[in-house]
Amino acid sequence: MVGSDNQTGTGASSSSHGGTMGSEEIKREAQGQAHELKDEARDTVEEVAGAARQQAENMFNSQKEAAVEQTSKLSSVFQKMADEFDNQDQSYFSGYARNMANCVDHVSQQLREKDIQSLVNDAQQYSRREPVLFMGGAIAAGFFISRFLRSSGKRSGTTDSSYDDAPQY
């Protein structure tokens, strides 16, 4: 009987050691799977970020082309204005109109030649050099954009529902 107890004890310790080896193996396998999932998630995030970046750049480039076209038109308006002032012997105003045309031409050229990162860097540098002018320009740009969008909405037949809901007096 003593011999059988001794064998049972050895068998129990052997199976306990085998269980430890099994749990270590499971732990390593789980860690490997977790590492693979982490790598897959990182790759997916990088792919999504790359696709979003590409889509943003494409949208920026199309908007940039529209802005270049509009600034070119604005420059020609200022140039015509300067010519008209010249015809009326208003050289003082003509000079201002030509300066505006030249400034708008410069902006148009910068838009045409630079990518998004260069334009952002230029805007940051300018905002540091001339914060008051930058803020004033941003406010003016916001005002003109809102006016443009509002007038575009009216032309396309859409109206702001808040005006329709207001009581008539």
DSSP letter for each residue of 51-77: HHHHHHHHHHHHHHHHHHHHHHHHHHH
CA distance 123 to 125: 5
Q: Extract the tokens encoding 81.
A: 């204005």
Poorest-pLDDT segment among 2-16, 40-54, 114-128: 2-16
pLDDT score at 167: 54
Per-residue confidence band for 44, with pLDDT thresholds at 50, 70 and 90 = very high
Condensed to tens digits (0 to 9), the pLDDT of residues 103-150 reads 889 888 888 888 888 888 988 998 899 888 888 888 887 877 777 677
Q: What is the pTM of this model?
A: 0.47
Tell me: pLDDT of 98 over 80.
yes
**Rounded Cα distance, 9 and 20, in Å:** 17
